Structure 1
């Protein structure tokens, strides 16, 4: 009998978004977290509510025919990768299939599916990593990523496939410095300690690097020797700035109570499709620089030429708005985060674009304040998708065309269902793999008034 706590042996027959295996025991459908189709597994039921049953893997009895040897010693314990043990072409097939199933289950049909655009680089593609200080288990200070499904334990990242060698060189130098200095890490339970995070950003197109050390204020740190050690590293890229951020908040998130510039500049630059973007320590920017060029080129192609007024809703730092601007008479971006809008304005000025206007505010509210009628609306909402009231307000304004950029196909399918019921139809859909070896995928849809 399938009940909470029961243990079973099963074969995973399918993989659904995001990274959930599907198995059947006595006719009961069970979602198996981190399962891969074809695996024979021993599982323990962790949740049962009516017909919804979830389980975790205790043992993999037989590997899936899809599996290969993962090129990382930490695979399986580190939370950074999911599909590193699956050939890349198979990863693309899995992601495409999952997106199409979500759309089909929502009743979205009749569109031209253009497949999935592979990432230009499948290793070393990330331009930003947030590392956490912790205990390696024997009392030795470590610096790495959270272990899978564990809040407090940290996994080392030796041989990490997601970043290039510059990230690991900087990480190792910082770790060696603080091990020698015997500075304690911040304990999330007791809220005592100093070292919290190390954030490294490296622009994929320019090679510029920004290093940001995040600590509490519980101990005064003299960091001149650390700065010297970092500047003496032999790197493929070049360090442009070193920052020290104070964060005394209790939440395990990176926030800034104070930011001190230790050396150089507080920003780096990225060059995307002929434009330059200034990126600070806390700016949002796509984490795959070369993949972002593929994504933005696709959006630009779906948007078309000779545009009048374009709304870019949830515009973030205005990257898409600026890339679209040469094709438009006017682009209006709306974003609720003031810092993002300030960055958008600075970047528009940097790129000498005078037809972009950026507004701080909630899309739900600011749509009422616009007198312009858009020829095209670009939507790039957060993972949760478009707020239902904002979506209804957008539909009421009756734009003839929409380009929806989604990082969460579940919310895309839900919003497309509402749009379809309101007289719109998806014309073209294409996926872009911005995150190799993970379950995540970007999806772009061109939507027209039926």
Structure 2
């Protein structure tokens, strides 16, 4: 196998994030091909070989999977926004659950309760915020306004029929594209660093229906503000137009950056409601993009945290303080730490808006600020950015020694890395569940409950060694010895739960209440066939069966 080679393969499985593994005839190793689903037959070009692992660029789907369906969006496959619109929603959730469950099984030491993936309450038109980019669909083509093409940093595809936003978003994007085209002004070229139109940011409150529109340009030309306002106020909306804004951004980075925002119409904020609380949202506020899904996420986190009465809670990486304010009514005090100063000011304003006087918010890096907080928490909530928690900050967090910690992760690979350190310092994973905030994409939020056994959590027992049958099967090998054997001989990590399940199948007595679920609806993972056979081999090796 070599770079540039055109091959055909069968997609055996898809791992997070969006990594399909293609089995190629007469090739020993599988090839990673993105934007595929299991059971497809595909043609691809090998474009990378790194550390013995080949990666391919999808050229053509030769045979569709029997699980596929007709995508609802006409832009799917060209637009880089969605990955799984060609799968029924139930199959999307099933695939996400399998991916994250496998990752967590590999990352967690010991047993835990796996609670699966909670579905998004809405599956289409679920986003409350979109950032569209100006560009062209092909070199020197007409002006386009939409999303980046799949696999491209430069080309933009018009998404006037996008299905993950509602009709108001689609009306706005069509109107702004018409306006920009009529001006004759060019889009900002990210390589040449010249041009005028850069981005269009649209936000809409799900509960109130209020809409903010922010056109982002450079200062290279003069915006016809009156004409833009006339164009947008003349539209018919299902919601209510709260404000039209113009943001100037001359930075070289291809991101929406506020270097000055002018209100052209109305105001620069609206209010959104979440779990009975009100939140002031500005164009650049951090707020979960699926409002109804966020309610499910925060309710899940709240249930994991458990009893909070008379407790001091640290909400680290607190953003605009959403989680802090949801917990504040049932806690003694909540302390939030966030590095973005604007988000901290918004959190303070929102807390006052909701009449919460037991929330305090600190601006700064968690790594540095955590030393200055002046109190010790009873519980900690971690909701870090995609890269997870800085190892040095995590060490300081662990040093607080709280009994319970809840970690909310938007990137499971970062979570898996951080769990290694947390477990190495005495924390054990009790429960893991996911919430799908991003239908049609590979993204998913993961919530983990960790607890730490205190040194005084001990019991005294009287043990008569003479009564022990040292030849009984259950004493021939410890669970750890079985785990070590399976890892060494088969390269598989197995949990104590899986070992106990296989022991039961083989007629070996194990604890009667071993790892029973902590709630009636919790799902206890069942040992996969491959791991069951490996565990049986270990039991035979240790003469237990």
TM-score where L is the length of structure 2: 0.81
Q: Residue 154 of structure 2 aligns to a residue in which SS?
A: coil
Counterpart mapping for 1:179-218 below 5 A: 179-218=181-220
Match of 1:349 in 2: 352
Match of 2:422 among 419, 423, 438: 419
Unaligned runs of 5+ in 2: 454-545
Q: CA RMSD in A?
A: 1.3
Match of 2:244 among 242, 245, 249: 242
Structure with larger Rg: 2
Match of 1:385 in 2: 388
1 CA distance for matches of 2:92 and 2:44? 24
Q: Residue 162 of structure 2 aligns to a residue in which SS?
A: coil
Match of 1:439 among 428, 442, 445: 442
| 1:187-216 deviation line (CA, Å, top 9, x unaligned) | 222222211111000011211100000011
Q: CA deviation at 1:53?
A: 2.0
Q: CA deviation at 1:114?
A: 1.4
Preserved CA contact (<8 Å) 1:103 1:109: no
1 CA distance for matches of 2:7 and 2:223? 53
Match of 2:523 in 1: none
Paired positions, count: 449
Preserved CA contact (<8 Å) 1:304 1:327: no
Match of 1:281 in 2: 283
Preserved CA contact (<8 Å) 2:212 2:243: yes
Preserved CA contact (<8 Å) 2:160 2:174: no
More strand by share: 1
Match of 2:372 in 1: 369
| 1:297-351 deviation line (CA, Å, top 9, x unaligned) | 1111112231510000111111100111011101001111111111111111111
Determine whether 1:75 maps to 2:52: no
Q: CA deviation at 1:108?
A: 4.0
Q: Residue 71 of structure 2 aligns to a residue in which SS?
A: coil
Q: Residue 332 of structure 2 aligns to a residue in which SS?
A: strand
Match of 1:51 in 2: 52
Preserved CA contact (<8 Å) 2:278 2:354: yes
Q: CA deviation at 1:52?
A: 2.2
Preserved CA contact (<8 Å) 1:406 1:443: yes
Determine whether 1:337 maps to 2:337: no
Preserved CA contact (<8 Å) 1:42 1:60: yes
Preserved CA contact (<8 Å) 2:210 2:270: yes
Q: CA deviation at 1:232?
A: 2.0
2 CA distance for matches of 1:271 and 1:157? 28
Preserved CA contact (<8 Å) 2:136 2:157: no
Q: Residue 77 of structure 2 aligns to a residue in which SS?
A: coil
The ranges of structure 1 where at least 4 consecutive aligned residues each deviate by more than 3 angstroms after the TM superposition are: 136-139
2 CA distance for matches of 1:307 and 1:320? 17
Preserved CA contact (<8 Å) 1:21 1:32: yes
TM-score where L is the length of structure 1: 0.97
Match of 1:157 in 2: 159
Preserved CA contact (<8 Å) 1:244 1:259: yes
Preserved CA contact (<8 Å) 1:108 1:416: no
| 1:228-282 deviation line (CA, Å, top 9, x unaligned) | 2211211111110110001111211111221111011111111001110001111
Q: CA deviation at 1:135?
A: 2.1
Preserved CA contact (<8 Å) 1:383 1:407: yes
Q: CA deviation at 1:20?
A: 0.7
2 CA distance for matches of 1:443 and 1:240? 34
Q: CA deviation at 1:109?
A: 4.2
2 CA distance for matches of 1:3 and 1:173? 48
Match of 2:526 in 1: none
Further displaced range: 370-379 or 300-309: 300-309
Q: CA deviation at 1:159?
A: 1.8
2 CA distance for matches of 1:3 and 1:307? 63
Counterpart mapping for 1:19-34 below 5 A: 19-25=18-24, 26-34=27-35
